[in-house]
Chains A and B, each alone.
Chain A
Amino acid sequence: MKLTINNESIYVYTGAKSLAPDRDTIVFIHGAGLDHTVWLLQSRYCAHHGWNVMALDLPGHGRSNGPALTDIESMADWVVQLLDSLDIEQAAVVGHSMGSLVTLETGARHPQRVTRIALLGTSLPLAVSEPLLTAAQTNDHHAFDMITLWGHGHAARLGGHPVPGMWMIGNTLRLLERSRPGVLYADLRACNQYQTGLDSAQQISCPVLLVMARQDRMTPVAVAEELIHSIRNPHTVILDDCGHLMLAEQPDQVLDALKSFLSAGPN
């Protein structure tokens, strides 16, 4: 689905379905330098199981135009602008990596718009290493290599994609290579500069799910601990043998965690 926000053409994947007013809505927010296709399986499942799905491309990403937003707070406000433009009162918000920070901030800044939030591959701070940031700043291909290598678990670096015939490393790399110059840097800098996450976490009153991966080198489980303690009633799921890019490495396990969380009662 294409729509216009701030005079820019924006793309939102809906599972090839139109949004129905009588259904609950789930917003999916991708990570740095990526786009809606990272949610391929999970978003498609939800779209065919009774939810409105909005797997968005943030400005400047995927098929959305405009300059990339430069801080997490603006991204959170932009998500609400998107809901406004579609007359959607409330939604569950699910985010991965940078998207998890946007999700958290959306929940804190706009509590009346968010029914529950899921933070996948998340930590606070979400610190970006200096070599990665520098490489991204100069649009150096090494930035894509670092994310691809650090992003996948040990075994996944040799493959074993759950989707038959797909080579995970190649797909991650190609997706990052498609990002427009400067966009990855803008995203990574926004992650690095986001300092108020723990305060935001304390303000969240809706149910929160955290999905983490044991082999995550980008948002290690240990670095998520303070975040977990700042959340009133966290539901946590930890995936074994899995790296940061869990949506591709363990799509079923991620979906199962989301499904039971999103289908549960008010708490």
Chain B
Amino acid sequence: MAGPRYPRFDTLTLHAGQRPDPATGARAVPIFQTTSYVFKDTDHAAAIFNGERPGHVYSRISNPTNAVLEERIAALEGGVGAIATASGQAAMHLAITTLMGAGSHIVSSRSLYGGSHNLLSYTLPRFGIETTFVDPRAPAAFADALLPNTRLIFAETLGNPGLDVLDIPAIADIAHDAGIPLLIDSTFTTPYLCKPFEHGADLLFHSATKFLGGHGIAIGGLLVDSGRFDWPGTDKFPTLTEPYAGFHDLVFAEEFGPAAFIARARKEGARDFGACMSPTTAFHILQGIETLPLRIQRHIDNTRKLVAHLDAHPAVDTVIYPELAGHPDHELCKRLLPRGAGAVFSFVIKGGHTAGRKFIEGLQVFSHLANVGDAKSLVIHPASTTHHRMDTDALHAAGISAGMVRLSVGLEDPDDLMEDLDRGLYASQK
């Protein structure tokens, strides 16, 4: 194609959403640490309040630093817009509450981050929203679980912690045949490894706390709208297709067209639930995104080395990583995650629960904590921590065994990491 081209991914990670500050010329994104914004006059104030002119009113609803981050992630994902939230959990909650209320139903993968599982399983039912959990490896199970009041299908790109690769195109087709959107938790892959919208997903969120921020210093979430779902094509989403008394009878799908969902999420959810991101956090996450391609590539390179090392280690029973030929999603992984299957993986030590504990206690470089996606390497024992609320059957269904250890591979020298794993494995077998 002659003429201009879209800026490419690595350029967008540095520039999307920002122009040098018009007031000062600052090249970096300034931290606008302010709660509120002075109006030019009363007409200007009324027009911003009523959505007739663009602008900021109050930082719970929007903020200039956050807006850069929101635009940047929307650009990287290929969406129409985004909202920065207080955490990944807040982003997921905002997505659900924007779409539905009491009496609704969700079909979800059962292979989820523990916190997401809690929200769907125990908390949302108190508010009248029920969830059916299904095996993410069986697309037909999603279709079978649909009910007349199902309003959403939800899953992670890479299941936690079994690393099931989601067949996004197949699940998106099932959702669209049912006239409902597919929401994806894209935390483990980031847009560098997978862009769910290109595979048919309609909405996605990140725990930006993880690889997007990348340094383990700030909790945050990002909810992104692809702008593709045809809300007026169904009567299932009155929040988007019927007049909203909370904003002068505005009909979001009529006013905002492709951006109806993200507009409602801001005008209602950000305003009323209030789980906003601090501008300083937005700045930290932007710093992370600026080096996303470099960091994720190094995360992947290190992960591949450790996976190969552990796979050949006599004290290791199995390594669970989709790039390994024995992983059930190996072919799907090649198709959907050609750049790599992330930097979080699990393996099972010979010797079960006790060996697992000794392994973790024998490590010196890996940090034992409940997080993933830090620049530093991390380790945890899911059965006793992140997934401790699950009984044995649920653990088994989620693919978690007593001796399973989860690693989040950081950016250290891979030889130091390998030596550390050897140290732990030696301790585990004594």
Least CB distance, B71 to chain A, in whole angstroms? 5
- Which residues does chain A contribute within 8 Å of B52, judged by CB atoms? 41, 44-45, 48, 255
Give the distance in Å from the alpha carbon of A146 to the alpha carbon of B4 in the complex. 8
B219: Cβ under 8 A from any A Cβ: no
A169: Cβ under 8 A from any B Cβ: yes
- Which residues does chain B contribute within 8 Å of A48, judged by CB atoms? 47, 50, 52
B101: Cβ under 8 A from any A Cβ: no
B318: Cβ under 8 A from any A Cβ: no
B125-140 at interface with A (beta carbon < 8 Å): none
Q: Are A166 and B19 in contact (CB under 8 A)?
A: no
- Which residues does chain B contribute within 8 Å of A232, judged by CB atoms? none
- Which residues does chain B contribute within 8 Å of A255, judged by CB atoms? 52-53
A4-18 at interface with B (beta carbon < 8 Å): 13, 16
Least CB distance, B58 to chain A, in whole angstroms? 11
A149: Cβ under 8 A from any B Cβ: yes
Of residues B52, B228, B254, which shows the largest number of chain A Cβ atoms within 10 Å of its Cβ? B52
B74: Cβ under 8 A from any A Cβ: yes
- Which residues does chain B contribute within 8 Å of A40, judged by CB atoms? 255-256
A145: Cβ under 8 A from any B Cβ: yes
Q: Are A170 and B255 in contact (CB under 8 A)?
A: no
B6 CB contact (under 8 Å) in A13, A35, A169? A169
Binds B, one of A78-86, A171-179, A219-227: A171-179
Q: Chain A: interface secondary structure? A: helix
Q: Are B17 and A174 in contact (CB under 8 A)?
A: no
Q: Are A157 and B7 in contact (CB under 8 A)?
A: yes
Give the distance in Å from the alpha carbon of A162 to the alpha carbon of B71 in the complex. 11
Q: Are B80 and A171 in contact (CB under 8 A)?
A: yes
B16 CB contact (under 8 Å) in A158, A162, A174? A158
A155: Cβ under 8 A from any B Cβ: yes
CB closest residue in chain B, given A135: B1
Least CB distance, B297 to chain A, in whole angstroms? 23
Of residues B4, B15, B64, which shows the largest number of chain A Cβ atoms within 10 Å of its Cβ? B4
A167: Cβ under 8 A from any B Cβ: yes
Q: How large is the interface on B (under 10, 10 to 19, 20 to 34, 35 or more residues)?
A: 35 or more
A63: Cβ under 8 A from any B Cβ: yes
Least CB distance, A67 to chain B, in whole angstroms? 20
Q: Are B74 and A37 in contact (CB under 8 A)?
A: no
A181: Cβ under 8 A from any B Cβ: no
Q: Are A165 and B3 in contact (CB under 8 A)?
A: no
Q: Are A145 and B75 in contact (CB under 8 A)?
A: no
Q: Are B80 and A160 in contact (CB under 8 A)?
A: no
Give the distance in Å from the alpha carbon of A122 to the alpha carbon of B6 in the complex. 24
Q: Are B227 and A171 in contact (CB under 8 A)?
A: yes
Q: Are B2 and A37 in contact (CB under 8 A)?
A: no
Least CB distance, B14 to chain A, in whole angstroms? 9
Give the distance in Å from the alpha carbon of A185 to the alpha carbon of B200 in the complex. 26
A142 CB contact (under 8 Å) in B1, B4, B53, B256? B1
B108: Cβ under 8 A from any A Cβ: no
Least CB distance, B99 to chain A, in whole angstroms? 18
A194: Cβ under 8 A from any B Cβ: no
Knowing A45-B52, A165-B62 are in contact, say whether A150-B262 is a contact too (CB < 8 A). no
A161 CB contact (under 8 Å) in B11, B71, B83, B251? B71
Least CB distance, A31 to chain B, in whole angstroms? 14
Knowing A35-B257, A131-B2 are in contact, say whether A158-B17 is a contact too (CB < 8 A). yes
Return the 10 tightest CB-CB contacts between A and B, nearest first: A164-B62, A37-B257, A165-B70, A45-B52, A167-B74, A162-B54, A174-B258, A174-B227, A164-B67, A159-B17
New contact pairs (12) apart from A16-B248, A164-B70, A166-B262, CB-CB < 8 Å: A16-B250, A16-B251, A44-B51, A149-B3, A159-B71, A161-B67, A164-B54, A164-B266, A169-B75, A171-B227, A174-B226, A175-B257
A-B contact pairs, 9 of them (CB 8 A): A40-B256, A48-B50, A145-B1, A158-B16, A161-B67, A167-B74, A167-B82, A170-B227, A252-B54
